[in-house]
């Protein structure tokens, strides 16, 4: 509620405390963190694509994918460090290894993957140490998908309703978005005759992404709202249009250099938009107590009813009137 809409110290609302958020909005900043999600996905999916390209004799695609992976992961690490409250302490990330912390796991993953992706790209660009390059390429290809996927846990393993409630779909959405981006970038950078794996990956990724998104929205119910409204909603919608367009173009005209490039660009952009959309949806859901209180209140009421069976409420604690119930409708 905006202040100027208040007529007085508001009567206590059942459902929230002056409409204030119950949880904190994540302090993670944009574009750094959604950018990181995008770049990490791009890199993580580019590395297996590079390996496939290399071992299927497509050096052009392999070089492009390796360079992309190394560049993206490099940039993403910069974004991560820059988003820290105390950037000079980035190395504290390797103080502990905590399986309970996706960020800890991710940090260790990044410290394995980053050098591998970097080495692979360096060897490919310079042509030096080809054997080592191959080892690095494989190593990056193996760890890359984990890098692309773990960020889903990073977001989902929070109290942010739109992220946490999506914890089942988010990993699939993230990897498919990553595949879309990596494939798309391949289409954009590489001549069509070298780009078949990229195109394939883009097609698979984009299809999967559309599916995952629609599954996610279906299952989230009311907590899906943040994905469908406001800035996040616009981003998600744009992403969907771009994905569909890119998908169609790549499928139909993927062998045309220009169409392929346009399709690739659309898919890369769609992946970025998706990440930004998801990021802002989470923020919005954290900022509005409805999404925190509503589902919890419903769950608690269900539990309380279950606990009580059909017996009357205990003395001193009468059942709350329906109007008092903190369901979504009453929360505001």
The answer to the question of residue 329 lying near other proteins (CB under 8 A) is no
The answer to the question of residue 112 lying near other proteins (CB under 8 A) is no
User: Which of 74, 78, 157, 257 forms a contact with other proteins (CB under 8 A)?
Assistant: 157
Among 243, 80, 279, 269, which Cα is nearest to 170's?
A: 279
Q: Which stretch binds other proteins (CB under 8 A): 21-29, 66-74, 117-125, 239-247?
A: 21-29
CA–CA distance from 315 to each of 71, 222, 302, 321 (Å)?
Answer: 66, 34, 20, 15
| Residue nearer to other proteins on the CB measure, 13 or 237 | 13
The answer to the question of residue 184 lying near other proteins (CB under 8 A) is no
Count of chain residues binding other proteins (CB under 8 A): 111
The answer to the question of residue 53 lying near other proteins (CB under 8 A) is yes
Q: Which two tokens stand for residue 211?
A: 């599916």
- Burial of residue 4 (number of CB atoms within 10 Å: 0-12, 13-18, 19+): exposed
Q: What percent of the chain is helix, strand and coil (3-state, nearest 5)?
A: 75, 0, 25
Q: What is the dihedral of CA 277, 283, 287, 291, to 10 degrees?
A: 70
| Residue nearer to other proteins on the CB measure, 96 or 128 | 96
Angle separating helix axes 32-55 and 130-156, nearest 10 degrees: 140
Query: Smallest gap, in angstroms, from Cβ of residue 251 to other proteins?
Result: 14
Contact between 116 and 68 (Cβ < 8 Å): no
The answer to the question of residue 8 lying near other proteins (CB under 8 A) is yes
Site for other proteins in 296-315 (CB under 8 A): 296-297, 299-300, 303, 315
Site for other proteins in 241-280 (CB under 8 A): none
The answer to the question of residue 179 lying near other proteins (CB under 8 A) is yes
The answer to the question of residue 226 lying near other proteins (CB under 8 A) is no
Query: Smallest gap, in angstroms, from Cβ of residue 316 to other proteins?
Result: 4
The answer to the question of residue 89 lying near other proteins (CB under 8 A) is yes
């Amino acid at each position: 509620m905006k202040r100027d809409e208040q007529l007085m110290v508001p009567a206590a609302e059942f459902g929230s405390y002056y409409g204030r958020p119950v949880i904190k909005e994540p302090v993670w900043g944009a574009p750094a963190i959604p950018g990181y999600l995008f770049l990490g996905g791009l890199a993580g999916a580019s590395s297996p694509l590079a390996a496939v390209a290399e071992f299927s004799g497509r050096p052009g695609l392999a070089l492009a994918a390796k360079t992309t992976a190394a560049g993206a992961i490099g940039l993403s690490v910069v974004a991560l460090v820059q988003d820290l409250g105390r950037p000079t302490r980035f190395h504290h990330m390797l103080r502990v290894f905590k399986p309970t912390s996706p960020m800890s796991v991710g940090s260790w993953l990044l410290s394995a993957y980053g050098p591998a992706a970097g080495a692979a790209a360096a060897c490919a660009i310079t042509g030096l140490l080809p054997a080592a390059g191959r080892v690095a390429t494989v190593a990056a290809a193996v760890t890359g998908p984990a890098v692309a996927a773990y960020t889903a846990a990073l977001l989902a393993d929070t109290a942010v309703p739109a992220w946490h409630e999506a914890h089942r779909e988010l990993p699939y959405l993230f990897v498919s978005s990553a595949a879309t981006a990596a494939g798309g970038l391949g289409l954009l950078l590489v001549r069509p005759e070298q780009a078949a794996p990229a195109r394939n990956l883009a097609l698979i990724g984009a299809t999967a992404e559309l599916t995952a998104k629609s599954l996610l929205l279906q299952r989230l119910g009311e907590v899906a709202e943040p994905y469908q409204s406001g800035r996040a909603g616009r981003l998600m919608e744009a992403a969907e249009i771009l994905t569909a367009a890119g998908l169609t173009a790549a499928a139909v005209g993927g062998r045309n250099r220009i169409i392929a490039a346009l399709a690739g660009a659309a898919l890369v952009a769609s992946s970025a938009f998706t990440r930004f959309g998801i990021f802002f949806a989470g923020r919005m859901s954290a900022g509005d107590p409805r999404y925190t209180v509503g589902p919890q209140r419903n769950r608690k009421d269900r539990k309380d009813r279950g606990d009580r069976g059909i017996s009357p409420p205990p003395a001193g604690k009468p059942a709350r009137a329906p109007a008092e119930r903190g369901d979504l409708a009453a929360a505001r």
